[in-house]
């Protein structure tokens, strides 16, 4: 039996795509393994949004090329980078055998069929109407509702790598959701480059497709316990989405609303199609319907032409919104984007210094927001064992990471209630409680250093 390993870089969409391809490989008779050393075929799912993931791919492909010559390893590359001329040059340099862009993932069988190492496999043209089988042993899963993007932000390579927006039919989405529920999934994250524009492809409403707000309601009626979604473009945000979130109990009070910059001048250069003022209107609309909403965002620091005044406007936006969390990046000019072609990059030291200041601002707000939860009882979805023995890790409905000690009747993954006892900017710490709010007895933990039962570890 052929053995394969998929290495994934990048976003949740890439994780979903890797799972899609893995399901096809398994259906062909391929055995998925945990390490590169065990594999006959290694497929690298790539990201092209920033320069750093590209360098990681280069490094890994260099290692794989050596294994290719030493033991005949078959090497593949898929994802956004594989769609670009830059990626194709990298593939040629590192002697990649299989190259698949984001729109060609279902061609993995045809690509492998040409290699004699895989002639014994049974290839199929289609897999379950392209519905991804549920991930094994997990309580949370991603569910793609669309692909591609119709916006053309000047810094972004996605329109070139993933193409124009194509919304998936609600019947197909709900069929996959049914499979997830049957497999025991309790939390689903709806994925799209811009979920707010679901059903409006290339600027036109697609006949028969609901709005994103209506799709949220349909997904919420399925019986799933938790619903999240990402990413939500401010340009296409509408109040009916906030209303649907408030009126659909399964939808979490968590919204990822990327702003990228607090400066209107920078937003125009980015071609983001909204202003700071409009963005703040959306925030107020969400807070009106969801008073306890948890906000996360994306910020690009040091975009071409950003002045100190522009950056200060981003810092002040933080104080107006009060973000719980953020993905923060120093601008990375990507070949093939308009900003790379037409704008001059800022010095690296300027970008690094501003990013450090932004990180400190975010830590202040994260600490303030997390500290406000101390003493509360919150619903938590625990994934399983944490790094520290005797503890479980997971997240709240607001997507706050949390660690709790294992307790009587709660020693593994599942939905529980926890009282928050301590907070840092990056983590909540608590103890599991029963329906009456009473703390559950903790399970004893074994301390290998002293070879005796250890008392509960202090919350740090």
The full set of domain ranges for the chain reads 3-128, 132-371, 377-454
pLDDT per position as a tens digit, 238-295: 999 999 999 999 999 999 999 999 999 999 999 999 999 999 999 999 999 999 999 9
Domain 132-371 has CATH 3.80.30.20: yes
Are the folds of 3-128 and 132-371 the same?
Answer: no
In CATH, the number for domain 3-128 is: 3.40.50.2300
Fold classification of 377-454 is OB fold (Dihydrolipoamide Acetyltransferase, E2P) (2.40.50)
- pTM of the complete model: 0.84
* The pLDDT value given to residue 132: 66
Contact in structure between 209 and 174 (CB atoms under 8 Å)? no
Q: What are the Cα distances from residue 208, in Å, to 16, 67, 241, 296?
A: 25, 50, 19, 32
- What beta strand segments (E) does 349-433 contain? 377-385, 391-396, 401-405, 414-423, 428-433
Structure confidence by residue, pLDDT tens digits, 221-244: 999 999 999 999 999 999 999 999
Record the tokens describing residue 417, joined without a space.
């209630």
Identify the bridge partners of residue 295 per DSSP, sorted by sequence position: 255
Q: Which pLDDT does position 453 carry in this prediction?
A: 39
pLDDT in tens, 86-126: 889 999 999 999 998 887 777 888 888 877 777 666 665 54
Residues at the annotated binding site?
11, 47, 80, 149, 153, 156
In terms of DSSP bridges, do strands 377-385 and 414-423 run parallel, antiparallel, or are they unpaired?
A: antiparallel
- Binding-site residues for [4Fe-4S] cluster sit at 11, 47, 80, 149, 153, 156
Query: Is the bond into 231 cis (omega within 30 degrees of 0)?
Result: yes
């Amino acid at each position: 039996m052929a053995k394969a390993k998929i290495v994934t870089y990048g976003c949740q969409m890439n994780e979903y795509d890797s799972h899609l391809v893995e399901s096809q490989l398994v259906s062909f008779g391929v055995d998925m393994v945990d390490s590169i050393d065990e594999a006959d075929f290694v497929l690298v799912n790539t990201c092209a949004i920033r320069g750093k993931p590209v360098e990681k791919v280069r490094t890994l492909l260099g290692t794989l090329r050596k294994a290719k010559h030493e033991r005949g390893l078959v090497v593949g590359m898929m994802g956004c980078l594989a769609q670009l001329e830059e990626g194709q040059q990298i593939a040629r340099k590192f002697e990649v055998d299989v190259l698949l862009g984001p729109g060609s993932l279902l061609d993995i069988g045809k690509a492998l069929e040409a290699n004699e190492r895989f002639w014994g496999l049974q290839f199929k043209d289609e897999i379950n109407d392209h519905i991804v089988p549920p991930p094994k042993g997990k309580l949370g899963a991603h569910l793609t509702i669309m692909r591609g993007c119709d916006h053309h932000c000047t810094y972004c390579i996605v329109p070139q790598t993933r193409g124009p927006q194509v919304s998936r039919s609600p019947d197909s989405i709900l069929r996959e959701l049914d499979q997830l529920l049957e497999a025991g999934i309790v939390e689903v994250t709806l994925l799209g480059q811009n979920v707010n524009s679901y059903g409006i492809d290339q600027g036109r409403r697609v006949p028969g497709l609901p709005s994103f707000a209506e799709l949220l309601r349909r997904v919420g009626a399925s019986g799933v316990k938790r619903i999240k979604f990402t990413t939500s473009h401010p340009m296409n945000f509408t109040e009916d989405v906030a209303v649907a979130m408030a009126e659909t109990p399964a939808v979490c009070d968590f919204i990822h609303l990327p702003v990228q910059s607090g400066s209107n001048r920078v937003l125009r250069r980015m071609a983001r199609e909204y202003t700071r003022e409009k963005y703040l209107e959306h925030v107020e609309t969400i807070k009106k319907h969801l008073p306890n909403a948890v906000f996360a965002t994306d910020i690009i620091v040091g975009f071409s032409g950003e002045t100190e005044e522009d950056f200060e406007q981003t810092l002040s936006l933080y104080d107006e919104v009060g973000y719980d969390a953020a993905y923060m990046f120093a601008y990375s000019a990507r070949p093939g984007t308009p900003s790379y072609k037409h704008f001059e990059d800022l010095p690296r030291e300027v970008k690094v210094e501003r990013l450090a200041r932004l990180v400190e601002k975010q830590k202040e707000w994260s600490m303030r927001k997390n500290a406000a939860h101390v003493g509360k009882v919150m619903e938590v979805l625990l994934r399983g064992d944490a790094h520290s023995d005797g503890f479980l890790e997971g997240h709240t409905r607001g997507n706050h990471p949390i660690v709790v000690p294992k307790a009587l009747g709660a020693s593994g993954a599942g939905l529980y209630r926890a009282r928050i006892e301590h907070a840092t900017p990056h983590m909540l710490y608590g103890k599991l409680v029963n329906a009456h709010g009473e703390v559950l007895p903790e399970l004893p933990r074994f301390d290998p250093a002293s070879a005796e039962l250890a008392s509960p570890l202090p919350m740090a």
